[in-house]
Structure 1
């Protein structure tokens, strides 16, 4: 096993090892492989497990907000959105080496203009083996304005796309990094609520005289958690008091922790411009006006991303005549915009004919 240890642990290998029950950190560097010990009562594992679930949920919310149409072969909407989610930006370009279009992360390779905008960039592999090394063959001049051209022929340039409006820097912080603190706080809510329930389940302590007696009592009641679940009334405590209440016996409302998590989730959704219940939700029935006021205007956040993506589509179409387009997902809008009787999105794979909207422009037969 040690002779076949890979020199680099890619995300795919890490997921593979974890799915098989191995610790990827133990594999790295030729160390022996350890089986991950599962303990369903471990609070740390509970938090880490919930956080993984929240990461998947957050990525699903992010990459499915928009629907892409008529992308060239090899590209689809989820791939573009995944690159934006994990890298913050990407470059779209044509390669005459294999006659394919690409969308990849990029790095500056040259100078900037008076506004700080990149004038020339090089593509970076997305989750490749040389992730931080620019691909010199994929170095392109950045096309900033839409070109007035009647010829739909590929040119030696690229169009940049960012996930959201730039700040002072020309590179965006990826959503995956921005969302991490929120997901970490949300993952704590369930363990805290669980601890509150356990702490107020009425478990009591028994006084013992020495460590030997403590070990004997431990055999009877393994832990507070197991005692709470199985009904064991005693856990060992070394002390001078006959009986000790480990809790005050009053059941705290675990719903307070769930309201906290709900507020955090609403805040998370608001960062994507998705509908949410606002940072504070009353426990009682809320009037429609209160709900609207509480939700806030998340539409501007959604519009920000849509405007950037549609401008990107206009530039790509003006240069290469592909007819690509981007719209807000029907699921997000909860509206049947294409008239098919369902408020869900059709396939948005690369240029597959069907009920996808086509742009009113001629596309050359060479493409």
Structure 2
């Protein structure tokens, strides 16, 4: 079956031939579940060639789909790529298997700074290895924002979105925000000088009050169409994932209509997210799963995934192999100083989740 790349990424199509999803009956296999467009164009074929293990490869486009499969159990997968946001729940549910580090000699290539960041979701780094990572930040249409706010528009600050006088003007050309309370409410808390991972219900009331003040100027909350709308010029500002903006920028450039898209990591700090290689507890081929994970940790293997997804990898020794255009982009590969400002989002108790859900419903409805 052929899987085609999204128009918001590199604009080329990649056909994963039938052998990827139908393994030979007599060959050793590993079952892998990953985000679409998140692996090098020849990686699966190369893995089969180098190890003799047949990869049975499926893709998903929603973290909720992945979480549901793993929580239900008997997913049929050995290795999955899971967001740091859902790791604590998967670990608590016993859905993941601790990694045998003795079988992962290529761990030496992983950036220790990113491993340390991941400890917030995976204490002692027992279950997950960071694969690709990025940030939540601001995507914007350069010319439209300049026309509305002038040359001094604070495009590198959360003030662009969270100061009502700015947002009111930007509403003329459209503002999209992720429909993601577990990400947006912590950003609002952070902007207010409160802990982004607060468990205090009163803090969420303050974040809700801020968002309600801004709500009349927000065009929509949606996680799926922000990238395409930004690329098409239908909105001029978006609070979204870094990868969505880089894809939108490339799509806009390819369209050749003069839409110039840029991305910024606000100077006040922003969420860092990572998608991570994990071993499924009830997988049928854990030894093959470890072999696959170790293979993905090779610098020459991870570099093409970064170039394809326009998303940084966690492999410090892959830098020289990533295209210069990607490697030299400070919004894809931030400096150490910027990384120090990034924070990792953590899961909350059911009680706090209920508070956040109610707040988000009120915000979206403008109550």
Q: TM-score range by the shorter chain?
A: under 0.3
Could you say which structure has the greater relative contact order, defined with CA pairs below 8 angstroms and 6 or more residues apart? 2
TM-score normalised over the length of structure 2: 0.23
Whichever of the two has the greater Rg, that structure is 1
TM-score, normalisation: structure 1: 0.23
